[in-house]
């Protein structure tokens, strides 16, 4: 989640800093700590990554490591609130409830079930080795994401009157979708857990970029022409609940 900023006015050359610690304890909780130095940054920026239990700090080249750690400690209340807002991690394990297309489904695992994942009546059923539940179910979710997004892409490209470009399912940390200059569209696989209209809004957004590679008024007018739902409602859902999708599984 985004981020307090520490504004630095003094730009004194920093002495050599020790290696950044891999973890940082604030209060009674330990966090993974990721420090990135950015030559053009003017301020210390702090973000949280609830999916990894991590604090991400961008540090200007002139700043000392100790300043970053002191700044993070000073934001203890904000950090705690940020993790609380995101929610708790949901392990993919027998009996757990995980979202699929906007609805929670219970994982029904039994070694006697077939190895093929099946879904019906709010239940995701699978068998096989117990220690591979997370791996196999994540692989299935990604395959479902590609199947659904491919259908969405074909639909919106037909509406737009353009050939369907290449589709890739991404594992991006912060982006739901992208459209490259060569026309390849990438969609975050975690959207398979969101309601259909939310996933479809992201695919429609990227298809609209095939005509307008910007976020101009013309782009949004074209997007509203392509997308059958309310894109602002879909955007609001992602803003409110999207980060929670990163808390499911490993």
Cα separation, 212 vs 234, in Å, equals: 20
Q: Kindly tell me if the per-residue pLDDT of 142 is higher than 90.
A: yes
Same domain, 144 and 237: yes
Q: How many structural domains does the chain have?
A: 3
pLDDT of 85-99, one tens digit each? 777 788 999 999 999
pLDDT at 133: 95
Sign of the CA dihedral running 212, 186, 203, 167: positive
Same domain, 149 and 128: no
Is 52 inside any structural domain? yes
Domain membership of residue 219 as a residue range: 138-247
Same domain, 81 and 130: no
Judge whether 178 and 171 are in contact, CB under 8 Å: no
Which of 52, 86, 120 is the endpoint of a domain?
86
Rg (CA), the chain: 21
**pLDDT grade, residue 4 (50/70/90)?**
confident
Same domain, 145 and 226: yes
Is 173 inside any structural domain? yes
Same domain, 158 and 225: yes
6 to 10, 11, 49, 186, 201: CA distances (angstroms): 12, 13, 19, 34, 35
Cα separation, 191 vs 200, in Å, equals: 9
Non-local (6+) Cβ contacts of 22 within 8 A are 32, 33
Task: Tell me the pairing of strands 23-26 and 29-38.
Answer: antiparallel
Same domain, 147 and 170: yes
Six-digit token string for 136: 């196999």
pLDDT of 42-64, one tens digit each? 889 999 887 778 899 998 887 88
In this structure, of 76-90, 108-122, 144-158, 181-195, the range with the lowest mean pLDDT score is: 76-90
Is 92 inside any structural domain? no
pLDDT at 89: 82
Same domain, 177 and 233: yes
Non-local (6+) Cβ contacts of 245 within 8 A are 99, 190, 191, 193, 194
pLDDT of 158-172, one tens digit each? 999 999 999 999 999
pLDDT at 28: 81
Is 91 inside any structural domain? no
Is 152 inside any structural domain? yes
Same domain, 168 and 207: yes
Same domain, 196 and 219: yes
**pLDDT grade, residue 17 (50/70/90)?**
very low
Most confident of 101-105, 174-178, 180-184, 242-246: 101-105
pTM: 0.75
Q: Give residue for tokens 């420090």.
A: 35
Mean pLDDT estimate for the chain: 89
Same domain, 144 and 182: yes
Same domain, 195 and 150: yes
Six-digit token string for 217: 């008024």
Is 25 inside any structural domain? yes
User: Side by side, which strands form the sheet with 43-49?
Assistant: 5-7, 43-49, 54-60, 29-38, 23-26
Same domain, 142 and 243: yes
The CATH number for 206's domain is 3.30.2010.10
């Amino acid at each position: 989640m985004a981020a307090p900023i520490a504004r630095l006015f003094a730009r004194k050359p920093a002495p050599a800093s020790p290696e950044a610690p891999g973890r940082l304890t604030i209060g009674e909780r330990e966090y993974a700590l990721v420090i990135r130095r950015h030559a053009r940054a003017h301020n210390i920026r702090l973000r949280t990554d609830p999916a990894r239990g991590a604090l991400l700090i961008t540090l200007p080249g002139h700043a000392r490591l100790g300043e970053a750690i002191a700044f993070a400690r000073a934001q203890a209340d904000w950090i705690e609130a940020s993790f609380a807002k995101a929610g708790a991690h949901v392990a993919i394990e027998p009996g757990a409830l995980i979202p699929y297309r906007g609805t929670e489904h219970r994982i029904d695992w039994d070694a006697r079930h077939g190895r093929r994942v099946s879904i019906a009546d709010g239940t995701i059923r699978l068998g096989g080795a117990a220690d591979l539940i997370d791996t196999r179910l994540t692989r299935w979710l990604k395959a479902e994401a590609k199947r659904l997004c491919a259908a969405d892409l074909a639909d919106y490209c037909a509406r737009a009157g353009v050939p369907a470009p290449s589709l890739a399912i991404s594992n991006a940390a912060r982006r739901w979708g992208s459209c490259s200059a060569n026309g390849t569209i990438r969609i975050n696989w975690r959207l398979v857990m969101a309601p259909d209209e939310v996933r479809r809004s992201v695919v429609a957004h990227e298809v609209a970029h095939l005509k307008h590679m910007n976020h101009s008024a013309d782009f949004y007018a074209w997007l509203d022409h392509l997308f059958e739902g309310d894109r602002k409602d879909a955007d609001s859902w992602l803003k409110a609940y999207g980060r929670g999708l990163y808390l499911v599984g490993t």
